[in-house]
Structures are given as C-alpha cells and as structure tokens.
C-alpha cells in the first residue's frame, strides 16, 4: 500500500482477516484473493472464506444469540451508539478505504462515512421503540389480556451490497442488530476492506463476540451455504445478483427461511423505513385470562 | 359407558337448515359457472355419504379467474375509496351473521366438526374477521406502513379443510380491506361453505371479480400459485406443500405468507391449577378433532405432578362424547376424510412400535363414517415420530420434565414454532416461559383462543407472516 505522508518511510501494510466469534482468523481454507482499487492498483489480499468459515460463523452467531437477544433494548441501543462513536474516530480510515474502493472523491467518501455513522445512530435509537411501534395490546373480545411483541428472528445471513462498501453495509447490518438478531455478513467481494475495518470497530465497541461475523469472499460461493443452513433463520440477499437471489430463495424454502424481498440495490442515501426491521422480527402473541 | 353419569338424550340439529343443494358451481367474475375440471363429490365424513357434486376448475379456469380479479382490481376495487370498501365488508359480516345457523350446519355436514364448534367458534369468528377488517379499509394510513400504503393486486389464496369458512375469512377479509382482489381455492374435501360465501358476495352487491372461488384439488392450487397474474400468494396448510410453494414463488417478486404445521408444547408446571389445566389440555388437542395446526399435541408435564395430572386427564377424556357432529352434545366429531384417518392411524401405530404406552378413551364410536377415539400416549421420548411429526388428529403425546429450563428446551426442540401453552399460577414464571418459547402464539392458562385483533402465525417451519391485527395487514400491502 502506498502512503504519501512521509515518502522515505515504508507503510506497515495491513493484513485483512475474517471476523468470527470475536476473533480475527484467516480463512480455514488458507485462500486469499487480491483486492484492487477502483483505478486498478493493488490494495491488499482479502481472506477468501470457505464453507467451513460459513459454518463456524453460523455457530458463533447462534452461540451469541441468547445473550444479544436477551439484552435489554436500552443496552443494545447503547452498544449501537458506541459503534457509531468508534466509527467516528476512524472516519479518515473509512474515507480513505471508500475513496480507493469506490473511486470517489474524498468529499464524497467523507459524505458516505457520515451518512453511515448517522444511519447507525438512527437504528441505535430504534432498539427500544420497535416493540412500541410494531407491538400491540390486542383488544380481544373476551376476558383475556392479549399482547403482541416483535422478537428477533434469530441468526440472519446477510449478503452485503456489492457497490456501496460502507454505507450499504451499515444499512443492512444495523437493522438486523437493532432488532436483536445476530448475523453472518458476507462483505462486498470487490470492495471488502471497509467491512473488515468495520469488524475492527465492532471488536472495540462492546458488541459481544459472535453477534456480527464478517466474511470476505464471493456471494455466489457463500450464499448457498447460508441459504440452506438449517441454523440460519433469515436471509438478506441484497448483495447477490438477480439470478442467484432466485436460487437462494429456492434453497431457503427447505427450511422455510425468511428471505428479504429485494428488487435490486437501493439508493442507500435515502432515509430508510421500517421494512428491514420488520423483515427480521417475528411477532409473538401472548394470551392470559383476566379474572378474580 | 352405560354406568357413565354423562348420558345425554340426543339433541340433533336439523340438516335441512343447511339448504344443501345437489350441486354447487364455482364462482368467477361474479357468476356461478361450470368448471372445466372433473366435478368433485363432497362427502359427509360422519356417514361417508355424498353430500353434493361440486364443479371443479381446470387450468384455463384459473386463468379466467385471475383475469377477472385483475380487471376488478384495476377498474373498481383498488380505486374505490376505503370508506366504500369498508361498507361492503360490513355487509358481508352482517350477512354471515344472518345466515350463521345455515353456515354452521353446512360446515358441520361438510367438515365433520361438532355443530357446537361451528356454531360457537367458526362462524362467529369468521364474521368477526370481516367486521374487524371493515374498520381497517378506510384507516390504512394509520396502520404504520406509511401515509398511503398501496394494495398488491391479485391475491391467490389456498386454504385447508380444517376451518373452511374461518380460513376463508382470515384470507379474504384483510385482502379486500387493503384493496386487493382475490382468487381463492378452498380445500378439495370442504368447498361448500366457500360457495355459499360466494352467494353472500352477490347478496352484498360486491363488484364482479373482486372475489373468485375455484374449487379443485392440489393441482389447481399449484396452478393458481404459479400463475403470472397473481401478485400475492397466501397459503395455509402443510409444511411440505408450503415449502413447494416457497420454491415456486422464489424469484417471481410475488409476496408470500405461509401458515403451516405445528407441534405445540403444552407445558404444565407443578404449581398449575390442575383442573383448569386438564380443561385446557382437552381443548388444546381435541378441539376440532385435533385438526388444528396450533393444537397442543405435545403435553410436557413436570414430573412431580405427571401421574396425578394424567389420571385426571384420562377421567376427563372418558366423558368426551364422540359421534354425530350434528348432535349438539357431541364433543368430538368425524375425521375429515378416509385419507386423514389412515394417516392418523399410521402415526399412532408408530407410537406403539416405538415403545410409547397408548391409552384410548373407552367411548363408543359410530359404526359408519371416519372416527378416531381420543388417544393419549405416555412415556413418549423426543426421538419418537409421535413427538416430532404433526399427527393432525385427536392424539396427545405426553413427555415429562424436571426443571423449567428443561421444559423450554424440550418445547423448542422442533423445527416448528406455531404455538405453545403454559400452565402455572406463578406470573413471573409464565412471563419468563412466554419469552423463552420460540412460537408465534403463546397461551398461558388458556389454549386455542383466536381473535381478529390478535396476530396469529408461526416461527421457523410453521411459516411466516401474520394474520390478524395491524401486523396482518402487511401481507396485503406493498410495503
């Protein structure tokens, strides 16, 4: 990697690894693939995750689910705010990585980072409001107290958007976390470096290990394992091409997995709605008799 | 049963009230028409007799019906003010109430369920769904999906035979309230009340094509689900068929909701009010002959009270009257079809073969028709088929546990996640257990309660999407 601060000094190049269960392993397969800048220059070798890495990541996400989903909404909200705080501190690093990966100007890269951080703050504020907005006290016709609450769906497999390396990533992962799910995230294949840096943010942001697991590799290779895995409860195929999305949705049917309907990569700069929060929650209705 | 103190004189409801006709026709574009398929014969499962001949659809009828629905969607229904749609739904609700007794008898004849249940549960709850959704039709902007949520278009809906009119109401009421038009395929063995509902649509003056009813078998359901003119698919039925539908719909952009099977755990803690629990267990598994996706088919009892509970349970089950569904004294009616009876028998036999202890109620069974005596298996292990597979009949599997954590672990040890029951006098334990259970509906100290304001639906392989309440509207809106 080039560094133009002090011409005579050789920069310490970073090795980008996976993030599974709170650790940064290399791929079990020992594979890497070269990541290039938008202008074609070499940036780094990214770990090329395998099926075994997917399985390890799912196991880590499952293990972390009880703790994360059982944490109070107040606590989850604070942790998500903390992610935003730590991202703010790494603003320049993210901007540099985005500028290199997406080939945009520094100003545009800064804007993307700012929007990503603001989005994390937006979702952080949702953790303790989802139940109020998506839940209800049901006025049933009878002597019963009936209420409905949204609960996290479980382990969510997320194929992150391919084009928007950080803002897209945050836009898909934040609602999954805010709703109380844990996830296995497959980063953009061509632009994976901001995702690995984001994993370093997670590792230092009070997010319990295993809540988010970041894999770098190919959606086409890793997606089918996530879609067919019996311990994955939901799938966000945003980062898959259209024909692969159909294949993944078919594979997901074997376990009646929830699959987010995706019509292509959205404009991430637009204000989000509740669709992604709703997509990864289950509404549970509880009944109890009322009487003396 | 001669020494039983529970003898009652027969109190049969008159079958004339059903206004049964020798033949029924399908309903497309506001008209009753002959279908291109081989006519079905709907039979009375309590006697095995043919009730009526019913026109059935072929693939070209599916196409005609979807076109009729699309035309009605474009020309009238989606553009009509919500306040007007609301009035149609109110009309339908009232007409169901007005013809409630007729519908109850018809439903019991066609399905085999006790008249007590069709009269007191199925039909009133079906009307309630139309009332509830009538009120949503002009308030969709307040439902939390944005200020002006749009309908999806044509809904293709496939429903099961266990609650024919009620499942129709669960599907059609929210679809129409949100501005969609529908093509609905009732189950092959229970199409009659849906075709009387078509008459009700005519009486309500509903614009032609808004509701279309296509009787037929599974192939017609498959053709409807796969039809390119359908924008939304809603299915209630088996998990196996649900998976096929999810595969079919994959990649088409159609919105899908599935209400599939279940293997609900009914958990009785040692401090439960036992007599109340016994009533709830009986209601949980023997309501509608156990033909209920959310039936409490696995009883999990805390070891210290298991023996006492089972004794009281058997005593209570002995008093259940199995027989003529039209008799108002009947508690358990007929199994819906010979096929279903064979499936129940086969699964129950697997319980014997795998080493569970079978107890069968000594109640007399009618000599004709499809009946299965209430049955309880004890000594059931989690690996047995009767603990894992949905039996969909009056068969209860009993397992025991020692600690609350073990109860939750066993309850959640299934790919299903539709419903669960908790019996305890301790509020903190109830709320804790309700939180831990991976199920869409949790009944505490009650079971099998339904209401249009209370969302219903499953986790995991019990399907996705909710029916009822504000959450249920999402399935029929482009959000």
pLDDT, tens digit, 9 for 90 and up, residues A110-151: 999 999 999 999 999 999 999 999 999 999 999 999 999 999
Contact residues, chain B, for A254 at CB < 8 Å: 243
Residue A12 domain-assigned (yes or no): no
pLDDT band at A6 (very low <50, low <70, confident <90, very high): low
Residue A21 domain-assigned (yes or no): no
| Surface-to-core class of residue A267, CB atoms within 10 Å of its CB (0-12 exposed, 13-18 middle, 19+ buried) | exposed
Nearest CA in chain A to B432: A70
pLDDT tens digits, one per residue of A154-173: 999 999 999 999 999 999 99
Q: Domain holding B395: CATH number?
A: 3.40.309.10
Q: Measured between CB atoms, which of A133, A256, A287 is closest to B460?
A: A256
Cβ proximity of B248 and B258 under 8 Å = no
Residue B428 to residue B236: CA distance in whole angstroms: 34
Residue B454 domain-assigned (yes or no): no
Cβ proximity of B471 and B150 under 8 Å = no
Q: Is B280 on the interface with A (CB under 8 A)?
A: no
Residue A122 to residue A170: CA distance in whole angstroms: 11
Residue B1 domain-assigned (yes or no): no
Task: Say how many domains are in chain A.
Answer: 1
Residue B1 has pLDDT above 50, yes or no: no
Kindly state whether residues B317 and B379 are assigned to the same domain: yes
Q: Domain holding B472: CATH number?
A: 3.40.605.10
pLDDT tens digits, one per residue of B7-24: 789 999 999 999 999 999
Q: Quick one: DSSP state of residue B287?
A: G
Give the DSSP H or E segment for B436.
Answer: helix B427-436
Give the DSSP H or E segment for B285.
Answer: helix B274-286
CB contact (8 A) between residue A256 and residue B239: yes
Residue B271 has pLDDT above 50, yes or no: yes
Q: Is B147 on the interface with A (CB under 8 A)?
A: no
Residue A32 domain-assigned (yes or no): no
Range of the domain at A66: 44-289
Residue B468 domain-assigned (yes or no): yes
Contact residues, chain A, for B471 at CB < 8 Å: 134, 136, 148, 283
pLDDT tens digits, one per residue of B428-472: 999 999 999 999 999 999 999 999 999 999 999 999 999 999 999
| CB proximity list for A30: less than 8 A, separation 6 or greater | none
pLDDT band at A5 (very low <50, low <70, confident <90, very high): low
Q: Rounded to 5 degrees, what are φ and ψ at B247?
A: -65, -45
Residue B7 domain-assigned (yes or no): no
Residue A25 domain-assigned (yes or no): no
Contact residues, chain A, for B478 at CB < 8 Å: none
Kindly state whether residues B252 and B269 are assigned to the same domain: no
Q: Is A244 on the interface with B (CB under 8 A)?
A: no
Residue B90 domain-assigned (yes or no): yes
Catalytic residue among B107, B188, B259, B390: B259
Q: Domain holding A139: CATH number?
A: 3.40.605.10
Residue A36 domain-assigned (yes or no): no
CB contact (8 A) between residue A284 and residue B449: no
Contact residues, chain A, for B441 at CB < 8 Å: 284-287
Range of the domain at B382: 265-444
For testing contact with chain B, the best of A130, A134, A286, A291 (most B CBs within 10 A)? A286
Contact residues, chain B, for A277 at CB < 8 Å: none
pTM for this predicted structure = 0.95
What pLDDT does residue B5 have? 65
Give the DSSP H or E segment for B40.
Answer: strand B37-43
Average pLDDT of span B99-118 = 98
Residue B453 domain-assigned (yes or no): no
Residue A96 has pLDDT above 80, yes or no: yes
Kindly state whether residues B215 and B192 are assigned to the same domain: yes
Q: Measured between CB atoms, which of B247, B250, B442 is closest to A284?
A: B442
The size of the A-B interface in CB pairs under 8 A is 116
CB contact (8 A) between residue A285 and residue B440: yes
Q: Is B247 on the interface with A (CB under 8 A)?
A: yes
Q: Measured between CB atoms, which of A144, A233, A255 is closest to B449?
A: A144
Task: Say how many domains are in chain B.
Answer: 2
Kindly state whether residues B255 and B271 are assigned to the same domain: no
What pLDDT does residue A8 have? 87
Interface of A with B in 118-137 (CB under 8 A): 133-134, 136
Q: Give the percent of chain A with pLDDT over 70.
A: 98
CB contact (8 A) between residue A274 and residue B144: yes
pLDDT band at A292 (very low <50, low <70, confident <90, very high): confident
Average pLDDT of span A257-269 = 93
Contact residues, chain A, for B260 at CB < 8 Å: 256
Kindly state whether residues B190 and B305 are assigned to the same domain: no
Longest dimension (CA), chain A: 83
Q: Measured between CB atoms, which of A153, A255, A288 is closest to B444?
A: A288
Residue A238 domain-assigned (yes or no): yes
pLDDT tens digits, one per residue of B75-103: 999 999 999 999 999 999 999 999 999 99
pLDDT tens digits, one per residue of B166-204: 999 999 999 999 999 999 999 999 999 999 999 999 999
Residue B63 domain-assigned (yes or no): yes
B259 is catalytic: yes
Contact residues, chain A, for B249 at CB < 8 Å: 249
Residue A257 has pLDDT above 50, yes or no: yes
pLDDT band at B211 (very low <50, low <70, confident <90, very high): very high
Residue B44 to residue A98: CA distance in whole angstroms: 69
| Surface-to-core class of residue A215, CB atoms within 10 Å of its CB (0-12 exposed, 13-18 middle, 19+ buried) | buried
Residue A4 domain-assigned (yes or no): no
Kindly state whether residues B215 and B279 are assigned to the same domain: no
Residue A37 to residue A53: CA distance in whole angstroms: 26
* Global ipTM: 0.95
CB contact (8 A) between residue A261 and residue B255: yes
Pick the closest to residue B443 from B273, B260, B294, B263 (CA basis): B294
What pLDDT does residue B436 have? 97
Residue A166 to residue A164: CA distance in whole angstroms: 6
Residue A162 domain-assigned (yes or no): yes
CA distance B46 to chain A (A): 32
Residue A117 to residue A82: CA distance in whole angstroms: 11
CB contact (8 A) between residue B251 and residue A246: yes
Kindly state whether residues B122 and B201 are assigned to the same domain: yes
Residue B6 domain-assigned (yes or no): no
pLDDT tens digits, one per residue of A186-234: 999 999 999 999 999 999 999 999 999 999 999 999 999 999 999 999 9
Kindly state whether residues B327 and B371 are assigned to the same domain: yes
Kindly state whether residues B207 and B348 are assigned to the same domain: no
Kindly state whether residues B293 and B349 are assigned to the same domain: yes
Q: Is B228 on the interface with A (CB under 8 A)?
A: no
CA distance A109 to chain B (A): 31
Q: Is A218 on the interface with B (CB under 8 A)?
A: no
What pLDDT does residue A12 have? 92
Q: Is A261 on the interface with B (CB under 8 A)?
A: yes
CA distance B53 to chain A (A): 36
CB contact (8 A) between residue B144 and residue A282: no
Q: Is B150 on the interface with A (CB under 8 A)?
A: no
| CB proximity list for B74: less than 8 A, separation 6 or greater | none
Q: Is A250 on the interface with B (CB under 8 A)?
A: yes
pLDDT tens digits, one per residue of B289-331: 999 999 999 999 999 999 999 999 999 999 999 999 999 999 9
CB contact (8 A) between residue A255 and residue B415: yes
CB contact (8 A) between residue B444 and residue A286: yes
Q: Is B291 on the interface with A (CB under 8 A)?
A: no
Cα A77 → chain centroid: 16
What pLDDT does residue A1 have? 52
Q: Is A291 on the interface with B (CB under 8 A)?
A: no
Neighbours of A57 (CB within 10 A): 32
Kindly state whether residues B356 and B223 are assigned to the same domain: no
CB contact (8 A) between residue B260 and residue A256: yes
Residue B360 to residue B155: CA distance in whole angstroms: 43
Kindly state whether residues B247 and B270 are assigned to the same domain: no
What pLDDT does residue A291 have? 92
Q: Measured between CB atoms, which of A134, A249, A288 is closest to B251?
A: A249
CA distance B146 to chain A (A): 9
């Amino acid at each position: 990697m080039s560094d133009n601060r002090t011409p005579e000094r050789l920069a310490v190049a970073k090795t980008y690894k996976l993030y599974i269960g709170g650790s940064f392993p290399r791929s079990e397969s020992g594979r890497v693939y070269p990541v290039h800048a938008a202008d074609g220059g070499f940036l780094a070798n990214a770990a090329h995750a395998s099926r075994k890495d997917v399985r390890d990541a799912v196991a880590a996400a499952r293990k972390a689910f009880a703790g994360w989903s059982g944490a109070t909404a107040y606590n989850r909200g604070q942790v998500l705010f903390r992610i935003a705080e730590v991202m703010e501190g790494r603003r320049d690093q993210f901007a540099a990585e985005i500028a290199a990966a997406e080939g945009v100007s520094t100003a545009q890269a800064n804007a993307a980072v700012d929007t990503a951080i603001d989005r994390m703050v937006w979702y952080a504020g949702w953790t303790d409001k989802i139940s109020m907005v998506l839940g209800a006290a049901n006025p049933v016709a009878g002597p019963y107290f009936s209420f409905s609450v949204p609960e996290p769906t479980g382990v969510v497999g997320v194929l992150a958007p391919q084009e928007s390396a950080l803002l897209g990533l945050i836009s898909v992962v934040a609602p999954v976390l805010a709703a109380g799910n844990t996830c296995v995230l497959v980063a953009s294949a061509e632009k994976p470096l901001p995702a690995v840096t984001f994993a370093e943010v997670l590792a230092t942001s009070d997010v319990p290990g295993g809540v988010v697991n970041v894999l770098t590799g190919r959606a086409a290779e890793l997606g089918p394992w996530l879609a067919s895995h019996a311990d994955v409860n939901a799938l966000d195929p945003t980062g898959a091409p259209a024909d692969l999305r159909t294949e993944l949705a078919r594979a997901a049917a074997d376990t009646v997995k929830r699959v987010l309907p995706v019509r292509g990569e959205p404009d991430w700069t637009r204000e989000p709605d509740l669709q992604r929060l709703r997509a990864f929650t289950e509404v549970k209705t509880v009944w109890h008799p009322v009487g003396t | 049963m001669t020494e039983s103190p529970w003898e009652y004189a027969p109190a049969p409801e008159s079958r004339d009230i059903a206004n049964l006709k020798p033949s029924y026709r399908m309903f497309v574009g506001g008209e009753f028409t002959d279908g291109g398929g081989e006519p079905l014969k709907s039979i009375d499962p309590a006697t095995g007799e043919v009730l009526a001949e019913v026109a059935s659809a072929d693939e070209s009828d599916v196409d005609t019906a979807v076109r009729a629905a699309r035309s009605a969607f474009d020309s009238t229904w989606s553009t009509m003010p919500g306040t007007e749609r609301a009035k149609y739904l109110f009309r339908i609700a009232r007409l169901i109430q007005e013809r409630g007794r007729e519908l109850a008898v018809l439903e019991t004849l066609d399905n085999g369920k006790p008249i007590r249940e069709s009269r007191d549960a199925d039909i009133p709850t079906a009307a309630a769904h139309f009332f509830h959704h009538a009120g949503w039709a002009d308030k969709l902007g307040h439902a939390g999906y944005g200020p002006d949520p749009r309908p999806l278009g044509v809904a293709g809906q496939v429903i099961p035979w266990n609650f024919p009119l009620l499942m129709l109401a669960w599907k059609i009421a929210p679809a129409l309230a949100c501005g969609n038009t529908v093509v609905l395929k009732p189950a092959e063995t229970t199409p009659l009340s849906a075709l009387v509902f078509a008459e009700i649509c005519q009486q309500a003056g509903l614009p032609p094509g808004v509701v279309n009813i296509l009787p037929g078998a599974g192939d017609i359901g498959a053709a409807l689900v796969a039809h390119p003119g359908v924008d939304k698919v809603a299915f209630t039925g088996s998990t196996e068929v649900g998976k096929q539908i999810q595969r079919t719909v994959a990649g088409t952009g159609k919105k899908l909701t599935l209400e599939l099977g279940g293997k609900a755990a009914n958990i009785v803690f040692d401090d439960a009010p036992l007599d109340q629990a016994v009533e709830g267990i009986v209601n949980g598994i023997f309501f509608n002959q156990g033909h209920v996706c959310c039936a409490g088919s696995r009883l999990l009892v805390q070891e210290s009270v298991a023996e006492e509970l089972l004794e009281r349970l058997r005593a209570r089950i002995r008093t259940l009257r199995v027989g003529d569904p039209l008799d108002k004294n009947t508690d358990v009616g007929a199994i819906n079809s010979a096929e279903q009876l064979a499936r129940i028998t086969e699964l129950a036999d697997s319980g014997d073969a795998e080493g569970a202890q079978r107890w069968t109620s000594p109640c007399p069974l009618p000599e004709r028709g499809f009946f299965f005596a209430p049955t309880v298996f004890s000594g059931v292990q989690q690996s047995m088929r009767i603990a894992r597979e949905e039996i969909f009949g009056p068969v209860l599997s009993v397992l025991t546990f020692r600690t609350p954590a073990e109860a939750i672990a066993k309850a959640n040890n299934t790919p299903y996640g539709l419903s669960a029951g908790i019996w305890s006098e301790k509020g903190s334990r109830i709320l804790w257990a309700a939180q831990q259970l991976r199920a869409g509906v949790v009944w505490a100290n009650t079971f099998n309660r339904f209401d249009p304001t209370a969302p219903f639906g499953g986790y995991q392989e019990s399907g996705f999407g909710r029916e009822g309440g504000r959450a249920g509207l999402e399935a029929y809106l482009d959000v």
